[in-house]
Chains A and B, each alone.
Chain A
Amino acid sequence: MNKQTPLIQIKNLDLHFGAFHALKNVSVDFHAGELVGLVGDNGAGKTTLIRVLCGIHTPSAGEVYFDGTRVKTFHPKLAIDQGIETIQQSVGLCDNLSIARNFYLGREPVKRFCGLPLLDFAKMREMSGRVIRQFGLRENVSVDDEVERLSGGERQSVKIGRAVEFKNRVVIMDEPTNHLSVREREHVNELALQLRDQGLLVIYITHDIFQVHRLADRIVIMENGEKIEDASTETMSAEALEEVIRQGGRIVEKRDAV
């Protein structure tokens, strides 16, 4: 396996939401240039884990290292500045803003006019339009139209386009192919592989073990806030991994006991 320093290292991570124990002693490493499938049922803790990585949640205990340096403050702005881009299911787009404005939200390009930072609309329109059209934005939709008018697939296109455009080191995809047509889905999967081949770390979250097994180098399975499996796709088949999910970790405990 990869011997270099992990790009992201998580050690004994715990997260509580009041009385609810959302993440339990999770330890996992992620390396640059690998595509990791993060799999588990609803409520397994996959999304919570990546929300820690992208700075939305601050862990209750444990350590997170990015590129060998311990992360002390958790905020989405810091994560984005470090090059961690997340494509999330439910958040990421503001319906009331145009496509171009959403595309650049939080990192708007500016042109100085008498010292005033004014939005560089020409760049925002040109770049966002060019990138998102590759991912299936209809020709009759203008980048000045509000996101509210877009279909589920087109909304995803905006998020994926944004993740591709900015030079990132980590791209986290949370159920990226939901609401997408078959062709769009294939396109997104190809893109995830391209990003990996460019040396980025891609964390791909899904329910569909068979879909991600074809793409991933490694699969991490979670259940009830715990990591129950971390295996290379070369050594474990999709069927075996599916069995782990079905058995809910018991199969791993049995194997480890032996």
Chain B
Amino acid sequence: MLKSEIKRLVRRHTEIGILVISLCLVLLFTLTSEGRWANAYNIGTILQVTATLGLMTLGVALVIGTGEIDISVGSTFGIGALIYLWFAVRIDPVFAALLAIGAGALIGAFNGILVTRTKTPSLIITLGSLMIFRGLAIALTDGFSFSVPYKERDGFSYSVLGGTEFLGINTGFYWLVAGLAVLLIALKMTPWGNRLLAVGGSAASAHSRGVRVERIKLSAFIVCGVLAAFAGTLEASKLGFADGSMGRLMELQAIAACVLGGCVLAGGRISLPGAVLGAFVLSSVQSYLVVTGVRPQWFIFLLGLIVVFAALGDRTLRRWSLKN
């Protein structure tokens, strides 16, 4: 009886795997780092990194939900950061952020329109835009970085957009919580969410029920672009400077966080809380390597191992839960 209830729980909540992994890692890191990992300052840093990576991950998860993929988010993140900082010293940061978000929406629309109109695999299209926008960012900044002078970093608008801390946690983290809540409601409780998951589960069936498959995919790409550019804005606000390489390789981390969080790359099955927990796990591992003195170059290696084992574990768990 208990076993069948657990199976039902696992079937309905794909994030259970990542929740168990997170708890185990938190316990392991706390016990083996002699207080260097589990302290208020370090946890605050981890949550700040989780905030930007998590927002980006939420967007990627939505695109994965439709059965597509967006690997251009690292570049969109960089473009968002650059546009924000360029304007933040000239106009109110809120308007600067809106411009950055607008650019993200345009990049998302660029990807979405190309994928849906040309029926080209999204992996190819977004690989192209990953390079196009990274190339633009590097070429336009010409090796220089943008920065905001210290005296301009304490305005309210700037602070709210990830520029400072509230209750010991970077304000970016509150944006992540709000973003997760809004998207969770949109995904689970609105017709748009129902159709998005249907498109990922079976585009042909969704189409036969009258769902506008192309529009749904396009909307997911746009939301993904917006979130990546907004994450770039928050990161730029936190650091106070940005250069052409900002966000490099973050697309891999975002996809890895999705996989860790129980999102199935074939589409139709995603967990937004799981994806955010995946981002938290990656930030925690990175931080653990730093505080224990392991060279950060090992991070990518560890990331790969974690993704492979998490994917295998998740598959095994799901098969078990489906067995009668």
Q: Taking beta carbons and an 8 Å cutoff, which residues of A are in contact with B?
A: 54-56, 75-81, 86, 88, 90-97, 101-102, 104-108, 110, 116-119, 144, 146, 148-149
Instruction: Check B190–A117 contact: CB distance below 8 A.
Output: yes
CB distance from B196 to the nearest CB of A (A): 11
CB distance from B8 to the nearest CB of A (A): 8
CB distance from B178 to the nearest CB of A (A): 15
Instruction: Check A56–B201 contact: CB distance below 8 A.
Output: no
Known contacts A94-B197, A97-B194, A119-B190: does B208 contact A76 (CB below 8 Å)?
yes
CB distance from A253 to the nearest CB of B (A): 36
Interface string of B1-45 (1 = CB under 8 A from A): 000000000011000000000000000000000000000000000
In the assembled complex, which residues on chain A have CB atoms less than 8 Å from the CB atom of B315?
A: none
Given A79-B210, A94-B202, A144-B12, output 17 extra A-B contacts at Cβ < 8 Å: A76-B207, A80-B209, A90-B204, A91-B202, A94-B268, A96-B197, A96-B268, A105-B206, A105-B211, A106-B195, A108-B191, A110-B191, A116-B185, A118-B190, A119-B190, A146-B11, A149-B322
B205 interface residue (CB < 8 Å to A): yes
Residue among A54, A94, A107 having the largest count of chain B Cβ atoms under 10 Å: A94
B273 interface residue (CB < 8 Å to A): no
In the assembled complex, which residues on chain A have CB atoms less than 8 Å from the CB atom of B205?
A: 91-94, 105
In the assembled complex, which residues on chain B have CB atoms less than 8 Å from the CB atom of A88?
A: 208
Q: Which of B11, B197, B200, B211 contacts A106 (CB 8 A)?
A: B211
Instruction: Check A101–B194 contact: CB distance below 8 A.
Output: yes
In the assembled complex, which residues on chain B have CB atoms less than 8 Å from the CB atom of A93?
A: 202, 205
Known contacts A96-B268, A97-B194: does B11 contact A77 (CB below 8 Å)?
no
In the assembled complex, which residues on chain B have CB atoms less than 8 Å from the CB atom of A55?
A: 210
CB distance from B258 to the nearest CB of A (A): 16
Instruction: Check B189–A54 contact: CB distance below 8 A.
Output: no
Interface of B is mostly: helix
B176 interface residue (CB < 8 Å to A): no
- Which residue in chain B gives the minimum CB-CB distance to A101? B194
Instruction: Check A105–B189 contact: CB distance below 8 A.
Output: no
- Which residue in chain A gives the minimum CB-CB distance to B200? A96
8 contacts between A and B (CB under 8 A): A54-B208, A76-B208, A88-B208, A90-B204, A91-B207, A97-B268, A102-B198, A118-B189
Instruction: Check B198–A94 contact: CB distance below 8 A.
Output: yes
Q: Which of A75, A97, A108, A118 contacts B201 (CB 8 A)?
A: A97
- Which residue in chain B gives the minimum CB-CB distance to A81? B210
Instruction: Check A108–B322 contact: CB distance below 8 A.
Output: no
Count B interface residues, CB 8 Å.
25
Instruction: Check B201–A96 contact: CB distance below 8 A.
Output: yes
In the assembled complex, which residues on chain B have CB atoms less than 8 Å from the CB atom of A116?
A: 185, 190
User: CA separation between A81 and B195, bound complex, in Å?
Assistant: 17
User: CA separation between A90 and B208, bound complex, in Å?
Assistant: 11
- From residue 169 to 213 of chain B, which have CB atoms closer than 8 A to chain A? 185, 189-191, 194-195, 197-198, 200-202, 204-212
- Which residue in chain B gives the minimum CB-CB distance to A110? B191
- From residue 206 to 243 of chain B, which have CB atoms closer than 8 A to chain A? 206-212
CB distance from A79 to the nearest CB of B (A): 8
CB distance from B17 to the nearest CB of A (A): 17
What are the 3 closest A-B residue pairs judged by CB atoms, nearest first?
A77-B210, A94-B201, A96-B201
In the assembled complex, which residues on chain B have CB atoms less than 8 Å from the CB atom of A78?
A: 210
- Which residue in chain B gives the minimum CB-CB distance to A76? B210
In the assembled complex, which residues on chain B have CB atoms less than 8 Å from the CB atom of A92?
A: 205, 208-209
- Which residue in chain B gives the minimum CB-CB distance to A162? B209
Instruction: Check A56–B207 contact: CB distance below 8 A.
Output: yes
User: CA separation between A79 and B197, bound complex, in Å?
Assistant: 22
User: CA separation between A250 and B268, bound complex, in Å?
Assistant: 49
B134 interface residue (CB < 8 Å to A): no
Instruction: Check A86–B268 contact: CB distance below 8 A.
Output: no
Known contacts A91-B204, A94-B205, A148-B322: does B210 contact A119 (CB below 8 Å)?
no
In the assembled complex, which residues on chain A have CB atoms less than 8 Å from the CB atom of B195?
A: 105-106
User: CA separation between A81 and B12, bound complex, in Å?
Assistant: 32
- Which residue in chain B gives the minimum CB-CB distance to A116? B190
In the assembled complex, which residues on chain B have CB atoms less than 8 Å from the CB atom of A97?
A: 194, 197-198, 201, 268
Known contacts A101-B194, A106-B195, A118-B190: does B208 contact A96 (CB below 8 Å)?
no
CB distance from B315 to the nearest CB of A (A): 15
User: CA separation between A67 and B5, bound complex, in Å?
Assistant: 51
